[in-house]
C-alpha cells in the first residue's frame, strides 16, 4: 500500500529495466490497468498517473525507440 509514486516509481522501473523506453512503460502501465486481479484503488491511481504523466510529457517518446508509429490509413468519405 505504501510504495513508490511519481518520478520515484518511474526511476525504479528505468533502473530495473534500463532498455525500457517511455513509450513501452506507458503501454505496460495502461495494460496493467486492465488486470482483473488488480483492484486496489490506490495502486490503480498510481499506475494511471504514471501513464498519463509520461504520455503527456513533451518528448516522452523521443528516447530512442526505433519502433515505427502505426498510423491509421487515410480514407475518403463519398
Q: Which long-range contacts (CB under 8 A, 24 or more apart) does 37-40 make?
A: 40/1
State residue 1's pLDDT score.
44
Q: What angle do CA 6, 9, 13 make, to 5 degrees?
A: 140
State residue 13's pLDDT score.
87
What are the percentages of helix, strand and coil residues in the chain, rounded to 5? Answer: 50, 0, 50
Confidence of residue 74 (pLDDT cuts 50, 70, 90): low
Contact 26, 51 (CB under 8 A): yes
What's the rounded mean pLDDT across residues 53-77? 57
What's the rounded mean pLDDT across residues 37-43? 86
Q: Quick: pLDDT tens for 45-59.
A: 888 888 888 777 655
Amino acid at each position: 500500500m505504501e510504495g513508490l509514486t511519481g518520478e520515484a516509481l518511474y526511476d525504479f522501473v528505468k533502473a530495473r529495466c534500463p532498455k525500457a523506453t517511455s513509450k513501452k512503460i506507458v503501454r505496460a502501465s495502461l495494460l496493467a490497468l486492465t488486470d482483473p486481479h488488480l483492484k486496489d484503488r490506490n495502486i490503480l491511481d498510481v499506475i494511471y498517473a504514471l501513464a498519463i504523466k509520461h504520455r503527456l510529457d513533451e518528448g516522452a517518446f523521443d528516447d530512442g525507440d526505433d519502433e515505427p508509429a502505426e498510423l491509421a490509413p487515410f480514407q475518403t468519405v463519398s
